Amino acid sequence: MSRKTKDINPYYMEENENKEKNEELIKRKKQKEREKRINQKKKSEEREDKFDLDTETVINMTNKNKLKKDEEKRKKISREERKRKKRIKRIKLFVKLFLFVGIIAGGITFALTSPIFNIKDINVINNITIPSDTIVSLSGLKPEENIFKFYKGDVINKIKENPYVESVEIHRKLPSTIEIDVTERVATYNVDYMGKYAYINTQGYILEISDDSRGMPIIQGATTSEDEIVPGNRLNENDLRRLEVVIRIMNAAKDSGLDGQVTSIDISNENEYSIYLNDEKKTVHLGDASNLSNKMLYIQAIIEQEKGKEGEIFVNGDINNNFNPYFREKV
């Protein structure tokens, strides 16, 4: 059949159109199937992605939980380890303490029972007035007693019962020697007491009652009552205050070389102190305690001028205000 005939043949034309339609349908179908596969693939990938994301989250959470559990486990182990170490430390400390107490107890027992530590010598040092035997007797310490079986405070208080004792130190010199270091009060003045002399030091402590003045200046006019003049006591407040002035007077006299001549000091009137110079047979009226250095210079000058004359020296005025010291001979 010729080409021309084909072109005009209706059947052929219809068949050809059907064929084209079928091809188009097949093509569309394939396209749809391809798109479907692509969509399915995308959905599958999305599901896989979602699955991977969820899986990672689960894994991370699982890892975190594991890490947390591991950390808690480590902390628990650490706490237990610390507790164990503390228990061991306490046990070691207890053992050391037990051993230490045992050693100390053993040492104390040995020290208190061993004859090595029995007292062999008791030495007294720095005592001048009080005999060593008196101090040892006051202490109550005895040879062959244990050197540790006494309290120092008790021994010190016993020795200080003697008024001359100002302070005491006790030294244990192991294994068997006791040393008693004494600081004594020094008698410096006398206080008139019922025709006798009460020795006192510069702090006003009454040290001893004696018939002998020992050449110390005699303080006259004290107000401390006779029943208070007891060794170990102190003068009353009024006399202690005036004693301070006496010390100032004597220091000024010492600076002028007159202290050795002063035999008595009258303190009965704090505005009119007076001293008596026995060798010169002169009473010096000082007035109050002002200008003592200048007054001593005038006293020296008058003594030189009135040598060998018994009488009174008056320096009890205001030397800085036209007062002229003078001497009045005894008639």
- The secondary structure of 168-191 as a DSSP string is EEEEEETTTEEEEEEEE----EEE
Count the Cβ atoms, other than its own, within 10 Å of residue 198. 26
Q: Which helix (H) or strand (E) holds 87?
A: helix 10-113
The pLDDT of residue 88: 85
Length of the chain: 331
CB of 309 closer than 8 Å to CB of 321: no
Alpha-carbon distance of 67 to 56, in angstroms, equals 16
**Dihedral pair phi/psi, residue 320, rounded to 5°:** -80, 0
Angle among Cα 49, 54, 60 to the nearest 5 degrees reads 125
pTM, to two decimals: 0.67
Alpha-carbon distance of 17 to 35, in angstroms, equals 26
**Dihedral pair phi/psi, residue 187, rounded to 5°:** -70, 125
Alpha-carbon distance of 149 to 331, in angstroms, equals 71
**H and E: helices and strands count for the chain:** 6, 12
Alpha-carbon distance of 179 to 168, in angstroms, equals 10
Alpha-carbon distance of 127 to 320, in angstroms, equals 47
Q: Which helix (H) or strand (E) holds 277?
A: strand 273-277
The pLDDT of residue 319: 85
The pLDDT of residue 27: 76
**Dihedral pair phi/psi, residue 292, rounded to 5°:** -60, -40
Mutual orientation of helices 132-139 and 152-159 as an angle, nearest 10°? 130
Token reading at 104? 């100390």
Alpha-carbon distance of 16 to 11, in angstroms, equals 8
Q: Which helix (H) or strand (E) holds 242?
A: helix 237-255
pLDDT tens track of the chain, all 331 residues? 444 444 445 555 556 666 677 777 777 777 777 777 777 777 666 665 554 545 556 566 666 677 777 777 777 777 777 888 888 888 888 788 877 777 777 766 766 678 898 999 999 999 999 999 999 999 999 999 999 989 999 999 999 999 999 999 999 999 999 999 999 999 999 999 988 999 999 999 999 999 999 999 999 999 999 999 999 999 999 999 999 999 999 999 999 999 999 999 999 999 999 999 999 999 999 999 999 999 999 999 999 999 999 999 999 998 888 899 999 999 8
Place of tokens 């391809």: 34
Check whether the bond before 175 is cis (ω within 30° of 0).
yes
Angle among Cα 274, 275, 278 to the nearest 5 degrees reads 145
C-alpha neighbours within 13 Å on the C-beta side of residue 300: 14
Token reading at 162? 């003697």
